[in-house]
Structure 1
Amino acid sequence: MIAAGELERENALLLAIIQATSEGPGVEPVAAAVARLIADATTTDACFVHVLDDAGRSLTLAGATPPFDVAGQVRLPLGTGVTGWVASHRTPAVIVEHKEADPRYQPIPALRGSEFTSMASVPMESDLAGLVGVLNVHTRLRRQFTERDVRLLTMIGRLVAGAVHQARLHRQLAGRERAHERFVEQVVAAQEAERRRLAGDIHDGISQRLVSLGYHLDAADRTVTDDPGYAAAQIVLARQLADLTLDEARAAIGGLRPPVLDDLGLAGGLASLARTTPDLEMVLDLADHRLPEHIEVALYRIAQEALQNVQKHAGATSTRLTFGVEDGTGRLEIRDDGVGFDTGPGQAQGYGLVGMAERAELIGGSLRIRSRPGSGTSVQVAVPLGGAATGC
């Protein structure tokens, strides 16, 4: 039977944790506050809160009791150590003594495991959030953690899981808002740059040729009676200038929207793009579907950027370009057999990759890049269409 005083202390602890987790959206402040509360209430000597990263591949220490000031500096791949084992199996683990003899244990110098004898580790998960991390408590003296201890820690883990999930959603939303703001700034800057380029092209090319065209036509008009041969020569020059001006106008328009999309559609445009990519064996699997104009332009530009990256960086010999519509979703993939690269956390992303992701997001889609050194690269775009696609 549970003593009334003990039950009251547990309820007070849970209320304190609920209050701590509701005070702010930051993952690290929540983890640090909860770690102190748990250590005090469970009379343990240390508490560590490890949070699963967004990719679900590793755990990062987000909060700990003093004097441990190493939040963000300890990272464990899923499955590594007792903490990684608990995350992988989603089941608690208790070690009463002789941690070093446990095959799951892996010493982490920054956490000074040799100073502690017993530990209990529980997953932080809930039905809504799923697994968000692992909660560990340690004692210097030998302690036999009871089922009740583990049940209390598991209940705390569920509360913290909800708070961490909300904090993570808030962080992701804030990150998307910042990314959107940066993208809007880039779009405005790109529009201004494009306007300046077009103005320069029109002034330096099209306008000058039209002025010259007018001179030749005036000369032909003045001499058509007195010197028909000279007038005819002026008309030939005027016709040549008109053709050059038309070519420059088409090139300027093509910079805004590829004319090939109007003439051939997205499948034809992608095939044309593939033909203009030298030194690569190109395998095409392109369904003849028409999409809304802005989606076709975005997918074409993503493919264009991806193929340029293949040429510049991949060292590939062959590339497969695939486009189709399935279950109301447009899918584009550019896959090469090149050198690949590391896409893991902390790896720098070039402007081209960022730009492709932002183009995909702007049309309501998502971009995924799968690559590793020596195994080529796959750029995949998925765009929900909502019935907007039409077959041709």
Structure 2
Amino acid sequence: MSSAEPERYAPPNGTVHGLIDPDREIPLLLGIIQAVASGPEVEPLAAAVARLITEATATDVCFVHVLDDTERSLTLLGATPPFDEQTGQVTLPLGSGVTGWVASHREPAVISEGKRSDPRYVPIPSLRGSEFTSMASVPMESDPGGLVGVLNVHTIQRREFTARDIELLVAIGRLVAGALHQARAHRQLAARERAHERFAEQVIAAQEGERRRLANDIHDGISQRLLTLSYHLDAAARIIHDEPAEGAAQIALARNLVDLTLDEARAAIGGLRPPVLEDMGLAGGLRSLARSLPDLELQLELFDGRLPEHIELALYRIAQECVQNIQKHARASSAQLRFSVRDGVARLEASDDGIGFDTGPGTPLGRPDGYGLHSMAERAELVGGQLHMMSRPGSGTTVVATVPLTPDPNGKGS
């Protein structure tokens, strides 16, 4: 082999004992198929493929290098012991080393001996390449996904790999490539979903932060000034001398205005930042909401566990909107509010026995009479959930919000 130009792989003409006995090829391929069908995880699949190839063939070690999401480098994600400890830690740029050469040229490479004199070879100390004499490297690629990675086998003793050996490794590479392509796509989708969840949490946190700021501004500014004004009016009422009756009447009017404004300010503060959620969670917030409606019989069925703050806030706002709609529009004599968590899904349901309305084709989700269903749907979607509404004239209305929860190491959903 020339040291200036790497030799392309050409199968040897002589008959050499292959990597695997023909009788063991089918069990190996069946084992690879079973590993491929085991699930959409890249690392377990790569590790299983490396183990199966080494156990079934006359090789000493197998490495599975997978193209990363940037498609500019390869990462070792599958290896047989003791090199399994290096998985996830060895990265090769495309074009670097024999593995990078195979990935760039999309063709196999075979080195029977003299690796150090091959211009493609780049030693990787953690993989102890000097201990292995021969190697075969094949691209893993599929029609839909293109190049997915590179599969390498190494032997301590010198080996002339046969054409059948390379055909078998290429076939395994193609078989694994389709599954790895799907696994990478699944991983990328999961990463995008996590990014969306983080974005939703950040948006809701920003919204609630702004609500807290406004609540504090109202409390520290408007409310305090109104309280001071109220004290001044009380003092003025005690010292009026001229036209006491008229002065008292004006002061009484001013007092009423102050009281109304204070009530509005307190209601605004409560609407902007419900402190009951922080102390008692969503169930406590919904109970407090029900107690604030003396004119409506509201039956409650509530799960008392806690959810992530952004989900509790979203569901609480949806419940507030539902209750306001029932009060303003439903003409209901009773209503139900249910909150549950089952099979990893949080479910909020608000229903009433009111007049209902038409939800047939062409009926807008955001009704002109003020139901505001669009805003509730947006709140649900922002935390990865959905909103559904069912109603018929004369048969009441039911609104259901569902939010899937993902496990959290601390035991909460997220």
Structure 1 length-normalised TM: 0.51
Shift of 1:43: 1.1
- Give the alignment of 1:1-392 within 5 angstroms: 6-69=21-84, 70-205=86-221
Aligned pairs, number: 233
Q: CA RMSD in A?
A: 3.9
Shift of 1:103: 0.2
User: Secondary structure at 1:56's aligned position in 2?
Assistant: coil
| Distance in 2, Cα, partners of 1:6 & 1:113 | 26
Shift of 1:163: 1.6
| Distance in 2, Cα, partners of 1:114 & 1:151 | 26
**Bigger mean CA deviation after superposition, 172-181 or 109-118:** 172-181
| Distance in 2, Cα, partners of 1:71 & 1:177 | 25
Shift of 1:183: 2.6
| Distance in 2, Cα, partners of 1:212 & 1:110 | 75
| Distance in 2, Cα, partners of 1:37 & 1:177 | 33
Cα deviation per residue 1:87-141 (whole Å; 9 max; x = unaligned)?
1111111111100000000111111111111111001110112111100001111
Q: Which residue of 2 aligns with 1:369?
A: none
Q: 1:19 corresponds to which letter in structure 2?
A: Q
Moved over 4 A (4+): 5-8, 205-215
User: Secondary structure at 1:131's aligned position in 2?
Assistant: strand
Structure 1: any 5+ residue segments left out of the alignment? 216-225, 227-361, 363-392
Cα deviation per residue 1:46-67 (whole Å; 9 max; x = unaligned)?
1100111100121111111122
| Distance in 2, Cα, partners of 1:205 & 1:8 | 85
Shift of 1:169: 2.1
Shift of 1:206: 5.5
Q: 2:142 corresponds to which letter in structure 1?
A: S
| Distance in 2, Cα, partners of 1:68 & 1:212 | 75
User: Secondary structure at 2:92's aligned position in 1?
Assistant: strand
Shift of 1:192: 1.6
Structure 2 length-normalised TM: 0.49
| Distance in 1, Cα, partners of 2:117 & 2:146 | 31
| Distance in 2, Cα, partners of 1:206 & 1:84 | 68
Shift of 1:181: 2.6
Cα deviation per residue 1:294-320 (whole Å; 9 max; x = unaligned)?
xxxxxxxxxxxxxxxxxxxxxxxxxxx
Shift of 1:182: 2.6
Q: Which residue of 2 aligns with 1:342?
A: none
| Distance in 1, Cα, partners of 2:75 & 2:154 | 18
| Distance in 2, Cα, partners of 1:41 & 1:203 | 74
Cα deviation per residue 1:180-215 (whole Å; 9 max; x = unaligned)?
333322222222211111222334446667899999
Cα deviation per residue 1:229-265 (whole Å; 9 max; x = unaligned)?
xxxxxxxxxxxxxxxxxxxxxxxxxxxxxxxxxxxxx
User: Secondary structure at 1:191's aligned position in 2?
Assistant: helix
- Structure 1 residues 213 and 89, CA, compared in 2 at 3 Å: closer, same or farther? farther
| Distance in 2, Cα, partners of 1:20 & 1:173 | 22
